[in-house]
Structure 1
């Protein structure tokens, strides 16, 4: 069996500000078999200026009359709701997680909610103060890399390495680079960081996924890799598992027709369950890197393979020739790989047609 692939069901802001909807999302994620259900924690006024425009997909889904800041205010998840969601997660045996988009929210999630890991979203990859605070938490860190170059990811990992290994040096680009290059820093990254390949486009067309970049990051940085998916279907996250993803994140909703920025690029509960089942099947199919027959195959060797047999009556002392030496099932006799070794030798006894040659 391959290592377990962690599945994060990304509820995000698909609760539309409703606690009842958020609780229903927890139940749906647990029923689907996901390992983690993840929300988003932010203070809208700390996240966006009044002048910040909406993304194209946000304007498409929610209209342009409302500003991004106004949209975010309507989607804030109150701190009190976090506690109720965490209790629901505990009862449903699924891990509660939320992504912080500002320093206050991160401190709340780590200090008061006691989350088990930190997720840095793609948009915060270059937010060095927030990334550093995440690294200093002592928790494992998941990093999404949508919109990023390889250099952007390396720079963020330098900040994380610096935060994880501590020290008295003041934060600076030079200090981050030194931490990233150090043996201690690289060990901290390898043991505590998962980097997610991601394309920030909702929904992402398959030809924009560029999945090979996931392996590129794994080779470049020596960290675990995964995939945060924004495609419309199920095939791409399963492909990611086949290519070595240790973690899959996927948006889901109760109903894709609900109003809001992310619903149309999300899976509904039945498809989320289907995706989890497909991931588990892919995970099981990966198996071992050793090429050898499994236990089920070994039982079929005798039936499917062949042995050397007499193609016609052969007398004791007769020479084996291409005319009197044949190859037939079952495969419980001498391997046909010895065909040419046997040719020209003398039979030590008589053989009837189809009798296995020793």
Structure 2
């Protein structure tokens, strides 16, 4: 049975603080056949001080001068908005998810009904929030951008010690867009080897090849930013997939899942039929009389519909023919 990768379409803040746009993103995610759509839920005054500058990628993408606080305040959706979004997701049949950035929003999301909690990279060092998240008793998916293996292990241990048994770790590079030479996809395997946990990849590269490659390497969860239009104003649009690209990514991942197979090296049914006329057999190279010694001079290996497999060559050469053979007739034991 094909192992199915859990694919999360990361809407993030690409709704630009507008409920109607958020609902359109839900429609696009559903049509793309992902497993879930994820947003971000926060109260701006609870997560950032007012004079904090924007990150460099945010400055570059927005091309405006304002604080990170002001930027996030404009992108903030209300709890009531998220209630509407959650109900809409239920109605159209797609899993609603959202990352909480502080305890109040986490409480709200858990009350709203979440199958698991997704923690962003920005909270990998937030010890009290990690412990508070663990207290909810839900499985946790943790992104690990801006961290080294020691940081990841520390956060993982905090969650484990607080009683969480189901923890998935997503390798991530926090840069929008992430250049290929900063992906370091093999780090995902390092995490798996070190923590013996379920792994995945949260992608910020342009295009779809890296998340597809991550699945080929063993990612069980893929998270990818998407938008309705890359040209829209906002910090993450330019590094996101548009709906048709998201569909393409899902299709490629599902194809790779099938291609990975079960790991058992054996011919499949179609190969068994083909092998009958492709794998070589032992034939008479010349006319051979019964009792004549079979040698490399009177035997030949060719493709034929019948005959003794060429794997028995060493066993046949040097023995006496038990039958008369005409040229190209299969050798029999």
TM-score (norm 1): 0.91
> Hey, what's the Cα distance between the residues in 2 that align with 1:131 and 1:332?
67
CA shift for structure 1 position 94: 0.8
Contact persistence 2:144–2:171 (CA under 8 A)? yes
Which consecutive residues of structure 2, in runs of 5 or more, have no partner in the other structure?
none
Contact persistence 1:144–1:228 (CA under 8 A)? yes
Aligned residues: 332
CA shift for structure 1 position 132: 1.1
* Residue 227 (structure 2) aligns with: 253
RMSD: 1.0
Question: CA separation of 1:52/1:302 partners in 2, compared to 1, >3 Å: closer, same or farther?
Answer: same
Contact persistence 2:135–2:162 (CA under 8 A)? yes
TM-score (norm 2): 0.98
Aligned-partner SS, 1:296? helix
Contact persistence 2:53–2:66 (CA under 8 A)? no
Is residue 71 of structure 2 the alignment partner of residue 97 of structure 1? no
* Residue 200 (structure 1) aligns with: 174
> Hey, what's the Cα distance between the residues in 2 that align with 1:303 and 1:107?
66
* Residue 7 (structure 2) aligns with: 7
Aligned-partner SS, 2:9? strand
CA shift for structure 1 position 331: 5.7
> Hey, what's the Cα distance between the residues in 2 that align with 1:141 and 1:294?
38
In the TM superposition, 1:136-215 aligns within 5 A as 136-164=135-163, 188=165, 192-215=166-189
Aligned-partner SS, 1:90? helix
Question: CA separation of 1:235/1:356 partners in 2, compared to 1, >3 Å: closer, same or farther?
Answer: same
> Hey, what's the Cα distance between the residues in 1 that align with 2:304 and 2:140?
56
* Residue 32 (structure 2) aligns with: 32
Is residue 257 of structure 2 the alignment partner of residue 283 of structure 1? yes
Which consecutive residues of structure 1, in runs of 5 or more, have no partner in the other structure?
166-187
CA shift for structure 1 position 136: 1.4
In the TM superposition, 1:229-240 aligns within 5 A as 229-240=203-214
> Hey, what's the Cα distance between the residues in 1 that align with 2:129 and 2:305?
65
* Residue 276 (structure 2) aligns with: 302
Select which of 265, 269, 272 maps to 2:243.
269
CA shift for structure 1 position 64: 4.1
Cα deviation digits, residues 149-179 of structure 1 (max 9, x gap): 11101110111012226xxxxxxxxxxxxxx
Aligned-partner SS, 2:308? coil
Contact persistence 1:306–1:332 (CA under 8 A)? no
Is residue 88 of structure 2 the alignment partner of residue 114 of structure 1? no
Is residue 298 of structure 2 the alignment partner of residue 324 of structure 1? yes
CA shift for structure 1 position 340: 2.1
